[in-house]
Structure 1
């Protein structure tokens, strides 16, 4: 979910002509689906346009996930998990990928260090653009020498590269 903070900029005033052009673009180019959504869309924009200088508004958006994309990523994770030699538990494997892809929060540890806590990739919690970013970062991580050495410690560096590339090629990566 994208969270966006908006602020009405002080010292910027729109002429009536500017307002008409903006309203035409907002309400004719993009509109709500059906009467109820059209009314909600207009009410929301009217609230935005009535902000006072310096007033802040927070907007949360959600872009639906594409089912085929989600299934492709999950199948890729499963294929790598089945081919690797390090992890016995899928959850641990997935958490390792999340951390390696940077999809985590970092917290102070009990002894002064920091530790990662993987973020969710739940279908309902992560919108499509963020899932695509995570997927790309996960694939990039799986291609690293560190990932190869972790997943297939007995193979040579060249064989590790071949192993991950064969799997990724099956998913057009």
Structure 2
């Protein structure tokens, strides 16, 4: 879910002709679905345009996820998990993968260090574009020497690369 904070800038002089062009563009290219949606869309823009300088409004958007893409990613994770030798439970493996891919938040620890808390990949929390970025980052992380050493300690570096590339090839990665 994308969160956007808008802030009204200092007043700008716009003519009635400018306003008409803006309305034609805003409501002509994209509009609300149905009468109710059209009213909500116009109300949103009217409220935004009525803001005083310095006032803010926060918008939350949600772009639907593509189900097959999520399933492909989860199948890839499962295939890597089943082939590796380090993690005994899938949840631990997923947390490690999320942190390795940078899909986490870092917080101060109780003794002065920092620790990662993996972010969610649920449909409600992660839009399609962000899911694609996470997938890309996860694949890149799985190709690192660190990931290979973690997952297959007994294999040589070349065999580790062969192992992960064989798995990823099955998912067109």
Query: Scaled by the length of structure 1, what TM-score is found?
Result: 0.96
Gaps of 5+ in 1: none
Deviation at 1:56, TM superposition (A): 1.1
- Secondary structure, in 3 states, of the residue corresponding to 2:116? strand
Q: CA RMSD in A?
A: 1.0
Aligned match of 1:151:
151
CA distance in 2, matches of 1:5, 1:31: 21
Matched residues in 2 for 1:95 and 1:48: separation?
A: 40
Q: Partners in 1 of 2:82 and 2:150 — Cα distance?
A: 14
The aligned residue for residue 117 of structure 2 is: 117
Match for residue 4 of structure 1?
4
Q: Is 143-152 or 124-133 further displaced after alignment? A: 124-133
Quick check: 1:139 aligned with 2:139? yes
Q: Who is 1:83 aligned against?
A: 83
Query: For 1:20-169, what aligned pairs fall within 5 Å after superposition?
Result: 20-169=20-169
Runs of 4+ aligned structure 1 residues displaced above 3 Å come to none
Query: How many residues are matched?
Result: 173
- Determine the structure 1 residue equivalent to 2:14: 14
TM-score (norm 2): 0.96
